[in-house]
Amino acid sequence: MSIVEKAVEKLKTLQPEPPVSPLVDVEEPAHPASTIERLSGRARTVDQSAETTPLWHVDQGALERAGLLPTGDEANDRLADELRRVKRPLMDNAIGKGAKVLAHAERIVVTSALPGEGKTFTAVNLALSLARELDFEVLLVDGDIPKCHITRALGLDGQPGLMDVLVDERRQPAEVIVRTDVPNLLVVPVGKRHPLTAELFSSLRMEQVLEELGGRHLRRLVVFDSSPLLATSESQVLASHMGQVVMVVAASQTGQHAVHSALQSLNGSPYVGLILNMSCLPASENYYYSYYGLYPRGRLAGEA
C-alpha cells in the first residue's frame, strides 16, 4: 500500500464519507493536543477559517504518472522505512531536540546541485511521511518556480500561490494555502510566475511571508521543493532563509565537484543534511533506488 493510500485509509477512519471530487467539503476532526503541546504546556494555534475551507483532492494516480511516488509495494515500503530515518533528525531539530537549537528549524528546503537528482520526489514523499506524524502538520511549498512540478502534478496550475503573495503585500499568505484531503498536508502552489524571482526571494517581504506560513504555527513544518543550486541563483537565496537544508545527491550521477560547489553555496546554512539518492544496490535480482539517511554536514565534502 502506498504512502498516499495509507494516508487516505487513515482519513477514511476519521470521517464517514471519503472525498470524491477535486474540491470537497469535509469537516476536519478535532485533533487531540499534540505531545509537543502537552510537554510544552502551550496552547495549539487554531486556524478558525480551517473549519470551512474545502479540501483539495490529492490524486495518487496523477502523482505516480508525474514520477513523484514510488510504484509497487516493495519500493513503497522500502521508501517509507528510509524516510522514517530521514525525517527523525529533521523533526528533532524542529522541536529543539537536535544537537543544537536552530533558528527557523521548522523551515526545511529540499535541494540539490543539479536537475534530475530527486528533489521533487524527495520533497513530496518527505512531506507525506511527515504528515503521518501525529504531532505535526506539513505545508509543502512549491519553491521551484520555473518548473513548478508539484503545482502541475497536483492540478494546481492557475491557483494563486507563493509568487502572488510575494508580489502583492496586501495579500495574506494564508490565502494561498491549499488544504488537502491527505490528513495534515497543506500545499502552497507557485502562483503567477515572475521574472524577478531571486529578488523577490531575497526581499523583506519573503521573510514576512515565511513567518506567516510557518513561524506562527506551533506544530507546522514547512517543506520547500526548490530548483537546483548550481542552475539558478534563487534556490541559494531560498536556502538562506531556511533552518534546515536537505541536499539530495544522485548516486553515480552527480560529480564530486558539483557536490562541493553546491555545499559551498550553502555556506551559512545552520544545518545541512545529505541524502544519497538513486543508489543502485543489488536486491535479489533487481536493482532499486535507495535513500541513505542524513549525513552530518560536511562529511561528503571531507570537512571535519
Binding site for ligand ADP (CB under 6 A): 67, 70, 112, 115-121, 149, 277-278, 289
Contact, 105 vs 96, CB < 8 A?
A: yes
Q: Transcribe 239-263 into DSSP letters.
A: HHT-SEEEEEEETTTS-HHHHHHHH
Q: How far is the CB of 225 from ligand ADP (least distance, A)?
A: 7
Q: x/- site string to Mg ion, residues 141 to 160, per CB under 5 A?
A: --------x-----------
Which residue's CB comes closest to Mg ion?
120
Work out what residue 235 binds among Mg ion, ligand ADP, none; the CB cut-off runs from 5 to 8 Å by kind: none
Q: How many helices (H) and strands (E) does the chain have?
A: 11, 12
Contact status: 132 vs Mg ion (CB under 5 A): no
Least distance to Mg ion, CB of residue 117, Å: 9
Give which of 190, 280, 276 is closest to 238, Cα–Cα: 190
The residue number with the shortest CB distance to ligand ADP is: 67
Question: Smallest gap, in angstroms, from Cβ of residue 44 to Mg ion?
Answer: 33
* C-beta closer to Mg ion: residue 106 or 117: 117
CA separation for the pair 160, 175 (Å, rounded): 8
Q: Kindly state the smallest distance separating residue 98's Cβ from ligand ADP, in Å.
A: 25
Distance CA 161, CA 143 (A): 10
Collapsing DSSP states into helix, strand and coil, what is residue 180? strand
Q: Which does 117 bind (CB under 5 to 8 A by kind): ligand ADP, Mg ion, none?
A: ligand ADP
Beta carbon nearer to ligand ADP, 56 or 224? 224
Q: Which three cell numbers stand for residue 53?
A: 475551507
Residue 275, strand partner residues: 248
Select 57 or 149, whichever has its Cβ closest to Mg ion. 149
Nearer to ligand ADP, 147 or 205 (CB): 147
Q: Is the dihedral of CA 6, 10, 128, 69 positive or negative?
A: positive
Based on C-alpha coordinates, what's the Rg of the chain? 18
Give the residues lining the site for Mg ion (CB under 5 A).
119-120, 149
